[in-house]
């Protein structure tokens, strides 16, 4: 078994100092971590000694007459004020709880992960460049492996990050020109479809009185955008009464309308366009499959070569671990919906709520490995949920080779493996996996690895940075439907 959870960032403070809505408090007092920060500091100029500096943060801003003043919450708090987009206390609580749920499932119930670890080199941890993503990964890791489950000599775990220009753990419009083009085109189509609708009239009757004078009408492309209003509403709902909006913003019908339109604006492209899927989230899907195949091969391409090793040495874990069993990435709500939509598993879903996560599980039917010449007889569910893998080092690696390019011998290595996609603990069905022979007999939620990889291959770019610069003079919408998940 191999598990790769993708976790949403959960509760965080608004992105902008002034959201554009007159009813939104400017400073949120929900970050108690600001009183408990610590930094690594050098204590000798020969680089031989390092220590830790504990400090508290206060945020300065402009006063009414432009003089510097401390930012304060609605009731005057200055030591717990959040930075824009920072993971709040509620976000830390829920990410910690997510880690505890993962421990309950994969440690306590399935006995898949060890109860106590002496290092973290069987776990691949990754976060986007946004600080709240790193915070969420750290909180979830501590929830899954608290100090009582780590030995006294436990070394620092490795957490992988990337530069913003290289980031594929979220749809990266800022560093992919063609994807930015596609995103604008689909957003404009949504605006054209909904801005003058009766649904938008309903929203304006509810909340337009709080819109700024420069953009008085609520619209998909208003300032703030409709999706930005949704983000603010969701953030306020996750926190206390000090930062609540007027009750009109929480009207059930109004929220359903905003959710429907926002989901269409941001995610319809993944459902309709193979190019959109490939540029928006395909590189991440390719990484997930690469780690699965690397796990089967025992090649180190399951993430071991990135997280393991002592002082720059690569290849084996600090406790002689030879493979990765669990990979956890701190990402965003747009990541989760993009992955699900691109695999055809997001139909009828609402915008991912806070505390959302996806678990991509790789499972093995041991009866296939026992005798490849015998007909496949899948083992009972409980036997391959807890199965171990016996691997030998290959002479070559499949890496990102497509199913079409694999040799017969390489394809045989993938037989007997199944992939299950769980969204908020709910198994999801990928359309292409419903076909005969593409899933575990009797359960369409278990997709054969061969079928899953073939679907993923179609949306995995050969070189993402080059693909981002191609097709800039082409239409944004495909000539004919290109349904996802096949």
Per-residue pLDDT tens digits for 387-429: 333 333 444 567 789 999 999 999 999 999 999 999 999 999 9
Which sign does the torsion angle of CA 326, 331, 336, 339 carry?
negative
| pTM assigned to the model | 0.90
Q: Give dist(CA 288, CA 304) in Å, integer.
A: 14
Q: In a 3-state reduction of DSSP, which class is residue 41?
A: strand
Q: What percent of the chain has pLDDT over 70?
A: 91
437: left (phi over 0), alpha (psi -120 to 50) or beta: left
Confidence class for position 8, pLDDT limits 50, 70, 90:
low
Cα–Cα separations (whole angstroms), residue 63 to 21, 51, 433: 20, 37, 59
Which sign does the torsion angle of CA 339, 254, 239, 100 carry?
negative
Number of other residues whose CB lies within 10 A of the CB of residue 433: 27
Q: How deeply is 177 buried, as exposed, middle or buried, from its count of CB atoms within 10 A (0-12, 13-18, 19+)?
A: middle
Per residue in 17-49, pLDDT (tens digit) is: 445 576 778 899 999 999 999 999 999 999 999
Q: Give dist(CA 335, CA 287) in Å, integer.
A: 14
The alpha helices in 421-463, defined as continuous H runs, are: 449-457
Residue 380 has pLDDT above 80, yes or no: no
Cα–Cα separations (whole angstroms), residue 319 to 114, 142, 147, 400: 13, 20, 18, 28
């Amino acid at each position: 078994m191999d598990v790769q959870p993708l976790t949403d960032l959960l509760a965080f403070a608004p992105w902008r100092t002034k959201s554009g809505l007159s009813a939104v408090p400017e400073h949120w007092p929900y970050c108690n971590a600001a009183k408990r920060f610590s930094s690594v500091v050098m204590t000798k100029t020969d680089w031989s000694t390092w220590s830790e500096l504990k400090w508290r943060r206060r945020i300065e801003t402009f006063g009414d007459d432009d003089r510097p003043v401390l930012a304060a919450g609605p009731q005057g708090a200055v030591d717990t004020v959040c930075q824009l987009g920072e993971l709040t206390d509620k976000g830390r609580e829920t990410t910690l709880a997510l880690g505890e749920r993962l421990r309950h499932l994969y440690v306590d119930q399935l006995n898949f992960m060890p109860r106590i670890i002496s290092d973290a080199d069987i776990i691949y941890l990754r976060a986007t460049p946004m600080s709240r993503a790193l915070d969420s990964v750290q909180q979830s890791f501590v929830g899954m492996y608290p100090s009582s489950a780590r030995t006294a000599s436990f070394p620092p775990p490795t957490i992988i990050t990337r530069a913003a220009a290289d980031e594929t753990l979220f749809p990266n419009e800022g560093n992919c020109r063609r994807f930015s083009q596609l995103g604008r085109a689909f957003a404009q189509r949504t605006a054209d479809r909904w801005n003058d609708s009766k649904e938008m009239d309903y929203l304006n009757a509810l909340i337009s009185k709080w819109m700024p004078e420069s953009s008085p009408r609520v619209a998909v492309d208003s300032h703030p955008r409709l999706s930005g209003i949704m983000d603010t509403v969701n953030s306020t709902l996750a926190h206390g009464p000090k930062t609540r909006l007027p009750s009109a913003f929480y009207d059930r019908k109004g929220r359903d309308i905003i959710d429907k339109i926002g989901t269409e604006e941001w995610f319809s492209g993944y459902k309709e366009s193979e190019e959109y899927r490939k540029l928006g989230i395909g590189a991440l899907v390719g990484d997930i499959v690469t780690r699965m195949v690397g796990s089967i091969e025992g090649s180190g391409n399951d993430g071991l070569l990135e997280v393991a090793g002592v002082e720059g040495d690569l290849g084996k874990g600090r406790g002689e671990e030879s493979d990765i069993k669990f990979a956890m990435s701190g990402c965003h709500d747009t990541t989760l919906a993009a992955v699900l939509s691109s695999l055809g598993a997001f139909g009828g879903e609402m915008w991912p709520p806070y505390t959302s996560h996806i678990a991509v599980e790789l499972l093995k039917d041991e009866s296939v490995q026992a005798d490849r010449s015998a007909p496949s007889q899948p083992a009972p569910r409980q036997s391959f949920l807890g199965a171990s893998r016996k691997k030998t080092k290959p002479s070559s690696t499949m890496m990102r080779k497509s199913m079409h390019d694999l040799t017969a011998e390489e394809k045989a290595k993938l037989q007997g493996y199944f992939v299950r996609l769980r969204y908020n603990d709910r198994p999801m069905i990928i359309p292409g996996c419903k076909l005969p022979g593409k899933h575990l007999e009797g359960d369409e939620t278990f997709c054969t690895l061969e079928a899953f990889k073939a679907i993923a291959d179609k949306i995995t770019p050969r070189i993402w940075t080059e693909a981002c610069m191609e097709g800039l003079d082409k239409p944004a919408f495909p000539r004919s439907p290109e349904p996802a998940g096949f």
